[in-house]
Structure 1
Amino acid sequence: MPSPSVSIIAGIALIAAAVYKFIIYPAFLSPLSKIPAANWSVHFSSLWINYIRYTNVENATVFELHKNKGPIVRMGPAELSVNCYEGGLKTIYTGGFPKTEFYINRFMNYGNIGNMFCFIDSKTHSTRKRMLSNIYSKSVVLASPTARATSKAILYDRLLPIFQKSSDSKNAIEVHSLDYAYAMDAFMAYQFGLDIGSNFIQDVEKRKWYLHLFFSRRPYLFWTTEVPTFTAWMHKLGIRLVPQWVDNATVALENWNLDICDKAEALLSSPAAASTPAISYPAIYAVERAKFQKADIKPPPQMTAKDPRQTYPRRLDIASDMYDHNAAAHETSGDTLTWLYYEMSLRPALQKQLREELLTLDPPILFPAPSAHFELPDPKKVDALPLLDAILQETLRRWVSVPGGQPRVTPGVCSLAGYDGIPGGVRVQSAAYVLHRNPEVFPDPEAWKPERWLDASVDELNEMRRWFWAFGSGGRMCIGNNIAIHSMKHAIAAIYTNFTTTIVDAEGIEQDDGFTAGPKGNKLWLQFHHV
């Protein structure tokens, strides 16, 4: 039995070792100790950054930190925020830095089924992305008979009549919820076909049901995303940091999406699949389904494991991707359209200028349709309009709908923002909210100025495009950016060809904080006036 003196010495040694490992080394000797710190405690604790995230002020806080401390800031013992292009954005996001557990914790669907967005390793992600990259490519989207036919139907049969009614009755419309509805309907029509996809524009009760379940869970994401182990342990102790109704809401939304996938599967499995008209064809679903069928020489793991939910091959794999894509589409495009209409409604002269440009389309997108055989103009012509493009680009910059940090992990020892020897396993991230407010690249960054995209020199434009991060960059760049731009440009073009807009109530239009973030007030009331 050791003597008391030996035990005391051993205890002191353990304490000293712990002090060295958890305080002295990280605070004074680690390569990260040389990097400006957000707070004195971040050298040895994650409490500060977790508090910032829990109180939902991360984006604004990080922005101020970079203004005061430079292009790289230490946010935790093994966490950095980076706000520069060379040695930062370019290195991290085009250099193959893998994703972190953040994405698994937040974006896994159907309990344990991954999707393209949450895959951590690049190989798994790139394999899945190759399945869908063509159907999402700009050339395919702009030439797609399905995208063209569904765009016309949604604009003329669903959306524009609502604005005409507002003009006729002189009653204002709350457009934020409607923008979510349009974004979802437009995307899902390309994803599943017009008949199977959502109809949130006209089915207001279903829209309210979906949006309530989708957004009411948001305040609880901190627990499951940032501190999942702690949250699970608390649950085992009988303390639910995430209420049961949150889990129930997630299951309800997943089942809603799964039902739509099942309908698309039934359509494509039927003898009538080959004769399905373009307007009803589930373009995105069909492509991933066909790619899986080609890739699966033997049954996939979920089938061999006899998962009772896998009633046909790859049911949950495809459904997880489809859910992730349509959830992202409705939120990001819906928020973007709301802010664009807000900014345009402040500028009657710009509305007039845009309408003059839109009337150069052949044919223009007039409502009511000038004839029963009216067709939308060539999507390539819509996409090429310079003022329309500048207005959308500036909205995506100033009011970026995914403003939060995009975490990655250093794959090994590397250099970032002029600091060498940064070890592997460090969480590093940049944020569009901060990148888009660099005054050296975007002068007067808080102002919404579409003209900055029209008047810039070639060098200035190239620099803005390098820092423009509304859709991310590198191999993990948002796969849906082309269909998103297509649907948003068509909505903007249809509205401002036929109507002017004025603000009735924009209280709370300022942006919330978070990984994704819409208007704090969750509303925008506009009056439409037919031209």
Structure 2
Amino acid sequence: MTLYTAIVALLALGAGILFFRLFHTAFISPLARVPCSHFSARFSSLWVSWLRHQNQLNRFLEAAHDKHGPVVRLGPNELSVNCVQDGFKTIYTTRAFEKHHFYNEFRNFILDDMTSAIEPQAHSIQRCRVGNTLSRSFLYTSKHLAAVVEGTVNNDMIPLLRGPVPGEAHMADISSIMRALAMDLWMAYVFGRRMSCRFLQNLSAADRFNDLMLMSRPTQMFYWPSEFPRLHRLLGSVGYSFIPRESVESSDELDAWLLCFLDATDEEIEAVELGVKAPFRHGEAPIMYRQFLFAIAREGLSADRILRKYTTMPTALVRPKSTHPDPSWKKVLRKPRSAQQIAAASEIMDQTLGVIHVFPTVLIFACWHLSRNEDIQKRLTQELRSASDFGVGEDPILPDLKALDQLHILHAVMMETLRLNGPNTGQELRVTPRGKHTRLGNYDIPGGVVVSSSPFCLHRTKEVFSDPDSWRPERWLPEPSPWDGNGEAEQWFWAFSSGARGCVGNMLAQFLIRQVLAAIYVKFTSEEAQKVDLRLIGDYVAEPNLDTVKLRFTSAVRLLLYWLERASQIMALDPNQNPLSFPILHHLSNSPSLLHAIQSIGAAHEQFFNPDNIAIALKERQQALRLLQRELDPHSGSCLVSSFLSVFLLGTFTSWVEGSLDSFGKEHVFGARAIINHLLANQQIYQGPYLTYAIGCYIYWDSCCAFVAEPGELPDTDTPEISEAINKMRSEFHPISAFGIGIFYLIGRVGRYCRSVLAGAERDLLLEAVLEERLLDWESVAGQESGVFIWEAYRKHALIMIYRTCSTSAVSGQLPAPSEKEAIIQAYALRVVQGLLSTPVTSQYLHLHAIPLLTAASELPSDEQNLTSPSQFLVQLPILFKDSAAGSQEPSNSSPSTSPPKMLVPIHRTVDDYDLSLNDDSAQISVSREAQPPNPASPEYSSSPLNTTPVSKPLRKGPYPIGPMAINSLPATYLVPNRPALWLTCLFILWVYIPLLLGRLLFLFPVLVAHKIFHEIAGRTSALELPVLPWFSINKLDDKRPVLKFYRPMSENDTEVSLDALDDVSAGINKSILSDQPHKWKKHPDSPSGRQYDRVLGHAHESEATVRDLDSLRQDVLEQAKVRTIKCYGQILNLANEVYNLLDNPIKLQNAIL
């Protein structure tokens, strides 16, 4: 056999063997049954290698799995698996699957770390070095981590979002900030804040570090060694490398940068131990670094290794503790080091690279998505504020750590961002156990096969994640949604891998993501500064495609102040009209206790919808009392008027918070009267903005609640001092009640009298006549033109109330015929509706419309008006007035000097027998036209609504909008009532929106009192069928009782509640004021009262207690609450004394008012 023949034979044999192997691999091996992602995958992996090099593999795999199923073949010996059962759970939760040699390229300092460890045992050793420093239990109880987050997030990051000008929108580069934040948080957690890099204070250094990190880990560094290891080694042996020289130098610089931290930290620890420096406080100790050193020392590493690397390193990125002005990092890398220090550096570098990739990327995309989705952002902000203690005038306080885990919107935002934009998108390569077959999908896979799953593909499985390329946090919320994947989303979530070799820092990452998002969106709102197409690029570790992502942040606290400033307009606290008015915004900023007092009130009102909020109310009250004690320190420099407001509100609402819920706000009146009586014990304080505010609040609450108070309750709290104070303040401009204090005071008297008559008391005809005369003669004082409609509406409301009440009892005397009374009452009701519809939308009195409007509605028969077509109704209005007044035989409008007839005829007594606490010399008596039919030709009651609108002008100029809706700048067509539906809609929207901002203080009163008015007076069919409004409308029941459809704001599901069931919702009982039966507690399974009752009584029904036992337990609860209330009142009165003792100092008083 010649040489030539031998060579040919060998070549033929080799070709045959090669052909057999290719044929066997392609068509005979167990992998032959698996569908191929590409036609060449049976023979070669070059196509997949090319896609990896071009960063296009993820999209290719997604399309392949969509076409061929959960298991596809990528090469002769490589599979991609995209399923849960017999999929990634089998691969990554079984220790038998070793890592691929690809992970060898993740070594740092020539040592294996947790990522690069191939064998499971080696990985376990590396994982033990971390100890419990990254466990859930440690993170949620670590004071060190809490201090690190508090200092880094609140002190360093938040000011960057707020900007140099407080309160104004600020544009910030969220990419640069989040990268700096990630490094500051991680380095502070490892080395302590004392040794942190503080990149947030030097963003340019953070950007240089990010460039250094990206340069040190290019795609080529991992691609060539893993895809073509032999070729890489061969070329390396002759001095050629696919890895750029700049990347090698950057990697060495990064190593030296970290070693500088280790050296500086060792020196700091030694200095603290020797007593040269102060001991570490919470957040300053290098807890995790010392954990690494102790764990490595226990492993018994003894041989020292010396790293000698020669390059140059910029010093701007390091903080070495060295006297050398420009330390070369040749010295840093050549310095002899222990194996323990090098091993610790390897682990820290491994974790640092993971942090710098994952944490900022997720936060950048989360903020960007929230800026583009206003609805989700609002829901997140509302959820965060309900669970946090962020407030005006206080240092920022992060929400409770455990509470953050219970916030569904926050969790959904984090999970959806990790699903769609998680940076770990590439394949996690594993090798099947040798010597046995493994079931993956529907295939038996032999040993030695490279298998992998990709978070990118798992998170875009269309059968689980509908519309997978859209950011929809709704898919992670508890309630069902079209995108929830039938509840399988959690099983397919794989952002941090799984099993023993999953991401060891996943709990820390989720913890910090929640903390940072909560800190931002409880304080700010964000929007895009410019429209950008932000997306991930890269296959294994993806990065945002843009280096700069600018968002515009507006302080949410500033928005809160902005709304409170609007509310101060609504409360008639306008300094341009009243020099004694309260700048409520200023006081909230200066008094943390005042904010907590208002929050306590809001939580107390929320009992009607969520009984658990009583605990929040008590907590807020306790916080307010604690802060008040601090504010009253003479050296605190706090504003005493602000402290007074806190004292007054706490004293007013203490009994409301701890008392029974069936009183419909009477405790407001009792508490206000008690605290005012206490304050009025000093005869010299009848003047001052603080007392003006207290009296104004009391008068308004009294007018709202007087009708529902039991006979004899309020006179017990009456004192001559408060009557005298009211007389002295008769014509001033007052908070809450504005110029209408006289009419509000009269309404309170009318309400108490009508309540006593309905309760069975003997009628007093002379008092009725006096009240009627006062109401008919009352005229608005000068200067309140913008409130003329509301005061006239309230006056008619009181007249309707007294006429209706007095006509329901036996009367000894001469009274008009029933038809005449009905005509007059309906005429008043029509005028109320017309007047309220004519109120300018810029009026600050719109929040007071509820009571007169609902009262008038109960008196309007459906055959006489049609508010569903308001424009037609206003055209009919003069005719209806004329028709209704025809039967009453009232004097014509041509006799304005003639006094209107009185419906109530007095018996022989004198007016002086009745003290109405209004002096005759202070009352402004005038001839009223209330009982007269309107003159269509008169300007006041013109058939054209354009003529009835007073000219609206801004209340004041300044940085804040004027009026409740701040629409001074709207076109003129929107400022006239030629669109009554729009007017009525605006009226009720304002009535709902604005009081919600102050805890429904002004909202619940009208609703509850209107319920009593309907229940006890009207008993008639309500013909008021409002247009469809958000959260509020009125319809009719079959039993001729009105139904109030109340839709709770900030809730996705509207809940309809009838007025009859409002008792059940608010107190858990059915009660009628006219009923002779004692009040009994009953459980109603079809209403929320059952749940509330269970919570109030400690879930007593679970032990099947009887109604009698429950009633007894309720009494015990109320007795205990009464004891606490008395004790709290004592504290509040003592605080009031302290306030006034300090106010006795003229200098202190002057400073407080200023």
TM more than 0.5: yes
Task: Assess if the C-alpha contact under 8 Å between 2:272 and 2:280 holds in 1.
Answer: no
Query: Which secondary structure does the structure 2 equivalent of 1:179 belong to?
Result: helix
Cα separation, 1, equivalents of 2:519 and 2:274: 32
Corresponding position: 1:440 with 2:441: no
Which residue of structure 1 aligns with residue 244 of structure 2?
A: 243
Query: Which secondary structure does the structure 2 equivalent of 1:447 belong to?
Result: coil
Corresponding position: 1:492 with 2:490: no
* Matched AA of 1:349: D
Distance 1:238 1:319, change over 3 A: closer
Corresponding position: 1:380 with 2:379: no
Cα separation, 2, equivalents of 1:353 and 1:395: 16
* Matched AA of 2:547: N
Task: Assess if the C-alpha contact under 8 Å between 1:509 and 1:523 holds in 2.
Answer: no
Corresponding position: 1:518 with 2:517: no
Distance 1:512 1:361, change over 3 A: same
Spell out, residue by residue over 1:159-180, the C-alpha distance to the aligned partner (whole angstroms, 9 max, x if none): 1111111775645222112111
Corresponding position: 1:397 with 2:423: no
Query: Which secondary structure does the structure 2 equivalent of 1:438 belong to?
Result: coil
Deviation, structure 1 residue 51? 0.3
Q: Aligned runs of 1:213-252 on 2, under 5 Å?
A: 213-216=212-215, 217-221=217-221, 222-252=223-253
Deviation, structure 1 residue 238? 4.5
Question: What is the aligned counterpart of 2:292 among 283, 288, 294?
Answer: 288
Query: Which secondary structure does the structure 1 equivalent of 2:344 belong to?
Result: helix
Query: Which secondary structure does the structure 2 equivalent of 1:277 belong to?
Result: coil
* Matched AA of 1:19: F
Deviation, structure 1 residue 300? 3.3
Deviation, structure 1 residue 515? 0.8
Spell out, residue by residue over 1:51-76, the C-alpha distance to the aligned partner (whole angstroms, 9 max, x if none): 00011101111111111111111111
Cα separation, 1, equivalents of 2:63 and 2:461: 12
Cα separation, 2, equivalents of 1:301 and 1:433: 43
Cα separation, 1, equivalents of 2:542 and 2:224: 18
Cα separation, 2, equivalents of 1:304 and 1:470: 38
Which residue of structure 1 aligns with residue 827 of structure 2?
A: none
Cα separation, 1, equivalents of 2:539 and 2:165: 35
Distance 1:142 1:3, change over 3 A: closer
Which residue of structure 1 aligns with residue 111 of structure 2?
A: 113
Which residue of structure 1 aligns with residue 356 of structure 2?
A: 330
Which residue of structure 1 aligns with residue 64 of structure 2?
A: 65
Spell out, residue by residue over 1:479-506, the C-alpha distance to the aligned partner (whole angstroms, 9 max, x if none): 1111112222121111111111111235
Deviation, structure 1 residue 418? 3.7
Aligned length: 522
For the aligned residues, what is the CA RMSD? 2.6
Which residue of structure 2 aligns with residue 31 of structure 1?
A: 30
Deviation, structure 1 residue 303? 5.4
Distance 1:369 1:183, change over 3 A: farther
Deviation, structure 1 residue 260? 1.1
Which residue of structure 2 aligns with residue 501 of structure 1?
A: 526
Query: Which secondary structure does the structure 2 equivalent of 1:405 belong to?
Result: coil
Query: Which secondary structure does the structure 2 equivalent of 1:120 belong to?
Result: coil
Question: What is the aligned counterpart of 1:300 among 274, 299, 302?
Answer: 302
* Matched AA of 1:414: H
Cα separation, 1, equivalents of 2:75 and 2:335: 41
* Matched AA of 2:460: R
Spell out, residue by residue over 1:71-125, the C-alpha distance to the aligned partner (whole angstroms, 9 max, x if none): 11111121111001111111100112111111111x1112x11101110111111
Task: Assess if the C-alpha contact under 8 Å between 1:102 and 1:225 holds in 2.
Answer: yes
Corresponding position: 1:469 with 2:494: yes
* Matched AA of 2:231: F
Deviation, structure 1 residue 5? 4.7
Cα separation, 2, equivalents of 1:422 and 1:338: 40
Which residue of structure 2 aligns with residue 153 of structure 1?
A: 151
Deviation, structure 1 residue 461? 7.6
Moved more, 385-394 or 223-232: 223-232
Distance 1:497 1:375, change over 3 A: closer
Which residue of structure 2 aligns with residue 81 of structure 1?
A: 80
Spell out, residue by residue over 1:383-419, the C-alpha distance to the aligned partner (whole angstroms, 9 max, x if none): 3322111111111111122011111111223234345
Q: Which consecutive aligned stretches of 4+ in structure 1 deviate over 4 angstroms post-superposition?
A: 1-7, 166-171, 301-310, 456-462
Distance 1:473 1:166, change over 3 A: farther
Corresponding position: 1:253 with 2:258: no
Task: Assess if the C-alpha contact under 8 Å between 2:70 and 2:82 holds in 1.
Answer: yes
Query: Which secondary structure does the structure 1 equivalent of 2:525 belong to?
Result: strand
Query: Which secondary structure does the structure 1 equivalent of 2:470 belong to?
Result: coil
Cα separation, 1, equivalents of 2:523 and 2:287: 30
Cα separation, 1, equivalents of 2:209 and 2:94: 38
Distance 1:166 1:496, change over 3 A: farther
Deviation, structure 1 residue 349? 2.5
Task: Assess if the C-alpha contact under 8 Å between 2:306 and 2:335 holds in 1.
Answer: no
Distance 1:108 1:313, change over 3 A: closer
Moved more, 26-35 or 53-62: 26-35
Deviation, structure 1 residue 129? 1.0
| TM-score in terms of structure 1 length | 0.92
Query: Which secondary structure does the structure 1 equivalent of 2:451 belong to?
Result: strand
* Matched AA of 2:228: V
Query: Which secondary structure does the structure 1 equivalent of 2:104 belong to?
Result: helix
Q: Aligned runs of 1:449-460 on 2, under 5 Å?
A: 449-455=472-478
Spell out, residue by residue over 1:345-391, the C-alpha distance to the aligned partner (whole angstroms, 9 max, x if none): 01223222211111123423x5x8604xx653432222332211111
5+ residue gaps, structure 1 = none
Task: Assess if the C-alpha contact under 8 Å between 1:149 and 1:278 holds in 2.
Answer: yes
* Matched AA of 2:258: N
Q: Aligned runs of 1:81-100 on 2, under 5 Å?
A: 81-96=80-95, 97-100=97-100
* Matched AA of 1:370: E
Cα separation, 1, equivalents of 2:307 and 2:51: 42
Moved more, 467-476 or 299-308: 299-308
Deviation, structure 1 residue 443? 2.2
Cα separation, 1, equivalents of 2:128 and 2:551: 41
Cα separation, 2, equivalents of 1:379 and 1:354: 16
Which residue of structure 1 aligns with residue 448 of structure 2?
A: 425
Task: Assess if the C-alpha contact under 8 Å between 1:267 and 1:273 holds in 2.
Answer: no
Cα separation, 2, equivalents of 1:361 and 1:251: 46
Greater length-normalized contact order (CA 8 Å, ≥ 6 residues apart): 1
Spell out, residue by residue over 1:403-461, the C-alpha distance to the aligned partner (whole angstroms, 9 max, x if none): 11111111223234345442222111000000011122222222212121113569968
Distance 1:353 1:108, change over 3 A: same
